[in-house]
Amino acid sequence: MSQTRSHKTADQVVIAGSLRNTLMISLVGIALVLATLLYIVVRSYAAQIAQSTQDRILSASVTSILDAAAIRNGQVNVELPYASFSILSTQADDRLVYAVHQDGVFLTGYDTLAFRPQQPGDMQFYNSEFDSSEIRVAVATRRLVGTNQTALISVSIGQTRESLDGVLREISQNAALLGFGFFVLMTALSLWLTTRAIAPMTALAQSVQRRGPADLRLVQSPVPAEMAPLVGSLNVFMQRLEQSLNKSEEFIAEAAHRVRTPLAIVRTHAETTLQRVDRAENRQSMRTMIRAIDESSRAAGQLLDHAMITFRADHLEKQPLDLSELVQELVRSMIPVADMKDIALSVTTPDELVFDGDAILLRNAMRNLIDNAMKYAPMETEVEIHLTADPVAFAVLDRGPGFPSEEIETLAARFARGSNSSGMIGSGLGLTIAEDVAIAHGGRLDLRNRKEGGACATLQF
């Protein structure tokens, strides 16, 4: 039973992740990171450039005012050049504020713009606020020298950042578009790459999957270097499997031969001897001997049959076959044995019944059921054998004692023998074999007792 179950679950592989998904997720993840990075870098670089552009214009404006300042007639004269403001015109009509301080004292402009003491010559930039708008301020100081006085003139010019923000928004959008495009491209590329990388593996898996269970040819088609160890191992494994399969079959055949031939010698000698001795106790012991030989040979035979059937069921190769013909032929070959016991075999089959299965396994299972029925059938009775097409079922009915009702469930279990089988030779494996074959063909073995007496064993497919 356990072997049957393991056969069913062999193709249910424990799955831990997917190579394809892992690769895909990694590549897409990398693409995402790169795209984000690209976006951030482009944006911040552009922001820097835009800011420095604004700073340069502000500084030019400040410089032009400072350059125009002079001390004339002992008086500080700061006349704002028209250009100092006109160069500050922007696309977004940014607002501007300015202030001129002389030695820290407010001279003209917006007195809300705070004075920042600083050394002459430096141009400084800082962010500030004006009427709740963010502004960028450039400030520089120049020392004016007159005939008998000096003055420190500071000019601050601030400008709102609306135009800059507009440019930044546009750049951000473009950078985002660029990043997104990059991401989409990378994702498409990843998909293509992943599919391509996985393709040989998929191809290999499919080609192995397409094979029949008995197809143990080596994988010949070229594979990428990374897969070579796997395919190599697979080939070696297949080779070993084929060898061991061949060995198994040979071993079973050889074992049968080795066991059966000596048993045949002993049995024939015993039988011959039995014909020659006359003393009752000698005859009795000869009979006992023959019976023991029969039991052991039958047990050995069924064990080997069972081994062979398990082996074949694990590598089940179904082929279309005519069940009717198979049953007819089987029954024909069993008639001489039935005749010996004066048991009639009656068989009904459809004209033709094509079925996908393993002929050897099916024949063996059916033979076991008929054997069983003949063993328990009383002399001069009939064993009925019915093959039906819809549903496909093979039933053997006898007029023997039937199955013990309390054991009917466990009867098919290995080595279980009916309690009323005392005196009958048999290992009990017959029903187990029949059930294994039925299961291997997707069916089951039904055992029941007939109302009119006798047993009915049915292989249901």
Site residues (CB under 8 A) for another protein, limited to 199-258 = 249, 252-253, 256-258
- In the three-class reduction of DSSP (H, G, I as helix; E, B as strand; rest coil), residue 277 is classed as coil
Give the containing element (helix H, strand E) for 433: helix 429-440
Task: Give least dist CB 303 to another protein, A.
Answer: 10
Q: Which of residues 92-111 bind another protein (CB under 8 A)?
A: 92-97, 100, 107-109
- Give the integer Cα–Cα distance in Å for 36 and 365: 69
- Token pair belonging to 327: 């049953």
Give the number of residues in contact with another protein, rule: CB under 8 A.
Answer: 80
Q: Which of residues 113-132 bind another protein (CB under 8 A)?
A: 131
Among the listed ranges 90-98, 219-227, 399-407, 438-446, the one in contact with another protein (CB under 8 A) is 90-98
Q: Which x/- pattern, by CB under 8 A, does the window 328-367 give for another protein?
A: -----x-xxx-xxxx----------------xxx-xx--x
Which 8-state DSSP code applies to residue 138?
Answer: E
Q: 250: which residues sit within 8 A by CB, 6+ positions away? A: none
Q: 371: which residues sit within 8 A by CB, 6+ positions away? A: 334, 430
Among 60, 238, 266, 439, the residue binding another protein under the rule CB under 8 A is 266
Q: 173: which residues sit within 8 A by CB, 6+ positions away? A: none
> Which residues on neighbouring strands pair with residue 397, listed in sequence order?
384, 456
- Cα–Cα distances in angstroms (integers) from residue 92 to residues 47, 59, 74, 224, in the given order: 17, 19, 41, 60
Cis amide prior to 222 (ω within 30 degrees) = no
Task: Give least dist CB 20 to another protein, A.
Answer: 44
Contact between 78 and another protein per CB under 8 A: yes
Contact between 80 and another protein per CB under 8 A: yes
Among 2, 16, 82, 121, the residue binding another protein under the rule CB under 8 A is 82
Task: Give least dist CB 341 to another protein, A.
Answer: 8
Find the DSSP H helices in 161-214: 162-210
CB of 267 or CB of 315, closer to another protein: 267
Contact between 304 and another protein per CB under 8 A: yes
Among 290, 347, 392, 457, the residue binding another protein under the rule CB under 8 A is 290
Q: Which of residues 166-195 bind another protein (CB under 8 A)?
A: none
CB of 146 or CB of 200, closer to another protein: 146
- Give the integer Cα–Cα distance in Å for 347 and 26: 67
Give the containing element (helix H, strand E) for 77: strand 75-77
Among 64, 84, 141, 427, the residue binding another protein under the rule CB under 8 A is 84
Q: 2: which residues sit within 8 A by CB, 6+ positions away? A: none
Task: Give least dist CB 201 to another protein, A.
Answer: 38
CB of 131 or CB of 409, closer to another protein: 131
Task: Give least dist CB 275 to another protein, A.
Answer: 5
Q: Which of residues 395-454 bind another protein (CB under 8 A)?
A: 423-425
- Cα–Cα distances in angstroms (integers) from residue 201 to residues 152, 207, 235, 374, in the given order: 80, 10, 15, 55
- Give the integer Cα–Cα distance in Å for 280 and 396: 39
Q: Which of residues 8-37 bind another protein (CB under 8 A)?
A: none
Q: Which of residues 367-406 bind another protein (CB under 8 A)?
A: 367, 375, 379-380
CB of 7 or CB of 283, closer to another protein: 283
CB of 97 or CB of 140, closer to another protein: 97
- Give the integer Cα–Cα distance in Å for 312 and 390: 26
CB of 65 or CB of 387, closer to another protein: 65
- In the three-class reduction of DSSP (H, G, I as helix; E, B as strand; rest coil), residue 303 is classed as helix
- In the three-class reduction of DSSP (H, G, I as helix; E, B as strand; rest coil), residue 387 is classed as strand
CB of 249 or CB of 317, closer to another protein: 249
Among 21, 22, 52, 89, the residue binding another protein under the rule CB under 8 A is 89
Task: Give least dist CB 256 to another protein, A.
Answer: 5
How many CA atoms, within 13 angstroms, populate the side-chain half-sphere of residue 171? 20
CB of 93 or CB of 122, closer to another protein: 93
Residues in the chain: 461
CB of 89 or CB of 127, closer to another protein: 89
CB of 123 or CB of 304, closer to another protein: 304
- Give the integer Cα–Cα distance in Å for 204 and 81: 81
